[in-house]
Structure 1
């Protein structure tokens, strides 16, 4: 590191030299770093290579999860949803209790860690939907049965929204084969009024595919009525979705 003594103080990079201003003056330093060959071959960087290998697997797994939950992220997400999916993929890789460090695999990890994932942390499920319901986990489908509720009271209402609908999303993930099957089902639209809604329920068929992890999420999205037609609310920041069930088949 060299101190700049000229009356002209530079900032930025010229060639291999970076000029910068610090707390104690202006300095210049030559670009450095460890060579790629050393990182890939030196025994001193064994841990680095192990970390890089698992980072790469987490990135690939995150892409798989993004594809699996595409129907959801089109409707409900925040600015860091994809980053959080990557972090979740890394957590699953680290939960592999069979493989050596650096060789841990997404498909050998604890897939139940996916349960409870919120796709929009700015609109948490429990602070968006207050209506009481039960989930019926049947042999062939998943059903949400709602108790009587007043939409204007039991569902958060963003500006401009006149209606909402719930949705189910299901994904069958084969982490070893890197494949996904997914489905989406929307409920009937519900007007946000002070009238009681009774007997409300909707279902999604289960994805019974051998050797897969079944992931089920429920969400809510808002609509606006204009001249008798319903349109998706352009501002989706209030839409919410959460993974509520993970099963192995």
Structure 2
């Protein structure tokens, strides 16, 4: 992709050139391809329209999930979480084996074991995958969303980023209906501890059992802090924080 090298930074369309800003800087490309009008009406592009409809649905489903857990997600995500989650939702949608092509739904895909498995294990921060950050086993009680880590020693059972002095754990129990958008998120109290050689049990019990007729999703979050003058500050604005969907029912 050609790069724009100029002291003037342009975004938009000029004649047959489109200027835009990407991760690699300001880029330029030529306009081309089939017109939107033809894609929307030509029978030859029926498959394209079906794919576009399902892609939009998957993107919306990912947005629905992100908004449902914004209190967990705000400091535990990477720059590409939106596109990665859309891809995962597409895998879930593919498990809808009853709807016509172009009308397949994430909510129906999640009614299948494989659809739920496709979403389980999703890490919202690809730079801090939970299994690489938390070097300890944990158990989940799906009845109340309680997550427990037995005999946890922070200095031994964490991959601790440089500068971190404290770590916090939070669990989340979400009921989310992807068809209607109805949601209920229950969080555990935050358990914060110094990163040292002390051994203890981490028990994270959500405040309640969420209500609703949607899927039940369970989350575990690990967040790092640096203490300066008795005040804990988020380490590098949460760049090392991990958040994962640990189970879907």
Give the structure-2-normalised TM-score.
Answer: 0.79
Identify unmatched segments of 5+ residues in structure 2: 1-12, 19-29
Structure 1 residues 221, 186: CA separation in 2 closer, same or farther (over 3 Å shift)?
A: farther
Mapped partners of 1:31, 1:74: distance in 2? 36
Structure 1 residues 200, 55: CA separation in 2 closer, same or farther (over 3 Å shift)?
A: closer
Cα displacement string for residues 176-207 of structure 1 (whole angstroms, at most 9, x for unaligned residues): 1122222333432111112x322332211453
Deviation (angstroms), 1:211: 1.6
Asked if the contact 1:96/1:106 (under 8 Å) is kept, the reply is yes
What is residue 40 of structure 1 aligned with on the other side?
A: 40
Say which of 136, 140, 144 aligns to 1:131.
136
Name the SS of the counterpart of 1:214 in structure 2.
Answer: strand
Give the structure-1-normalised TM-score.
Answer: 0.79
What is residue 92 of structure 2 aligned with on the other side?
A: 92
Cα displacement string for residues 29-70 of structure 1 (whole angstroms, at most 9, x for unaligned residues): x96543333222221111111111112212221211211232
Mapped partners of 2:132, 2:32: distance in 1? 50
1:241 aligns with 2:243: yes
Deviation (angstroms), 1:147: 2.0
What is residue 216 of structure 2 aligned with on the other side?
A: 214
Q: Any residues of structure 2 matched to 1:12-27 within 5 Å, and which?
A: 15=15
What is residue 202 of structure 2 aligned with on the other side?
A: 200
Mapped partners of 2:235, 2:17: distance in 1? 51
What is residue 5 of structure 1 aligned with on the other side?
A: none
Mapped partners of 2:238, 2:79: distance in 1? 12
> Which has more radius of gyration?
1
What is residue 56 of structure 2 aligned with on the other side?
A: 56
Asked if the contact 2:184/2:212 (under 8 Å) is kept, the reply is no
Name the SS of the counterpart of 1:147 in structure 2.
Answer: strand
Structure 1 residues 47, 187: CA separation in 2 closer, same or farther (over 3 Å shift)?
A: same
Work out the number of aligned pairs and report it: 221
Deviation (angstroms), 1:14: 6.7
Asked if the contact 1:146/1:200 (under 8 Å) is kept, the reply is yes
1:150 aligns with 2:137: no
CA RMSD in angstroms comes to 2.3
Q: List, as ranges, runs of 4+ consecutive aligned residues in structure 1 with deviation greater than 6 Å.
A: none
Mapped partners of 2:131, 2:137: distance in 1? 11
Mapped partners of 2:153, 2:17: distance in 1? 66
1:164 aligns with 2:144: no
Say which of 167, 171, 176 aligns to 1:173.
176
What is residue 8 of structure 2 aligned with on the other side?
A: none
Structure 1 residues 35, 169: CA separation in 2 closer, same or farther (over 3 Å shift)?
A: same
